[in-house]
Amino acid sequence: DTGVSQDPRHKITKRGQNVTFRCDPISEHNRLYWYRQTLGQGPEFLTYFQNEAQLEKSRLLSDRFSAERPKGSFSTLEIQRTEQGDSAMYLCASSLNTGANVLTFGAGSRLTVL
Amino acid sequence: DAKTTQPPSMDCAEGRAANLPCNHSTISGNEYVYWYRQIHSQGPQYIIHGLKNNETNEMASLIITEDRKSSTLILPHATLRDTAVYYCIVRVRGDYKLSFGAGTTVTVRA
């Protein structure tokens, strides 16, 4: 499988709980991105890694959110003390550091906070 | 700050060409036009991109006006599986991220 894998695909949690999403990018891709998408809206950029370095974080990424990419391979996005407003699709994408920089997206992890 | 303007929705007939417009009147010389689409419950999928010249690949054609202020994505023979939200995105060469707008919801009807 050469695509971007995300796990879990669906997560239902109660407000105040912590959740973690995992993304496995295409193996040779050194760039990795997290986006969030709410119903009826386009994806919104959250954060970007080049290899293991987190180079940009959006203002949308509050201090309850943390992302890591140890060893420049898979990445995790953790949300602490979830709120109902965190309910969304969390999308991961990866790309090569080339001129075209085409992003390949995973299918997403849908979070529902009750 | 939206860099592109797209109609919110459009219908097209199965088997016919679908022409999706996008306005990017403030585009600068080093900005590319990218098109992605998102089928329901899936992540966005890359379609095509271009700078000045028209581009064609196995999925679609991209026509960019001479002044580069607008472009059209053409799906030559639309099928029901082309029903999706289509995003037109302007990105500076060398920039690493994409900024999505609301896109155009395209419904292909039998």
pLDDT(A1) > 60: no
pLDDT(A108) > 80: yes
Mutate to test the interface with A, among B39, B98, B104, B105 (most CBs of A within 10 A): B98
Of A40, A43, A99, the CB nearest to B44: A43
pLDDT in tens, A37-73: 999 999 999 999 999 999 999 998 899 999 999 988 9
**How big is chain B by its Cα radius of gyration, in Å?**
13
Contact of A75 with A49, CB cutoff 8 Å: yes
- Give Cα A56 to chain centroid, integer Å: 13
Of A33, A91, A99, the CB nearest to B97: A33
Which chain B residues contact residue A44 at CB under 8 A?
A: 100
- Split at pLDDT 50, 70, 90, the class of B2 is low
Residue-wise over B69-96: b if at least 16 C-beta within 10 A, else e?
ebbbbbbeebeeebbbbbbbbbbeeeeb
pLDDT in tens, B5-39: 999 999 999 999 999 999 999 999 889 999 999 99
Share of chain A above pLDDT 90, in %: 87
Say what the pLDDT of residue B93 is.
Answer: 78
Mutate to test the interface with B, among A10, A103, A109 (most CBs of B within 10 A): A103
The pairing of strands A31-37 and A44-50 is: antiparallel
Q: How many CB atoms lie within 10 A of CB A30?
A: 14
The residue assigned the tokens 């920039």 is B95
Mutate to test the interface with A, among B91, B97, B99 (most CBs of A within 10 A): B97
Share of chain A above pLDDT 70, in %: 99
Maximum pairwise Cα distance, chain B: 41
Say what the pLDDT of residue B62 is.
Answer: 98
* 3-class DSSP state of A70: helix
Q: Which residues of A touch chain B, with CB atoms under 8 Å apart?
A: 4, 31, 33, 35, 40-45, 48, 50, 55-56, 91, 93, 95, 99-108
Measured between alpha carbons, how far is B99 from B87 in angstroms, rounded to an integer?
Answer: 10
pLDDT in tens, B42-100: 999 999 999 998 999 999 999 999 999 999 999 999 999 999 999 999 998 778 889 99
Cis bond before residue A70 (omega within 30° of 0) = no
Measured between alpha carbons, how far is A94 from B71 in angstroms, rounded to an integer?
Answer: 26
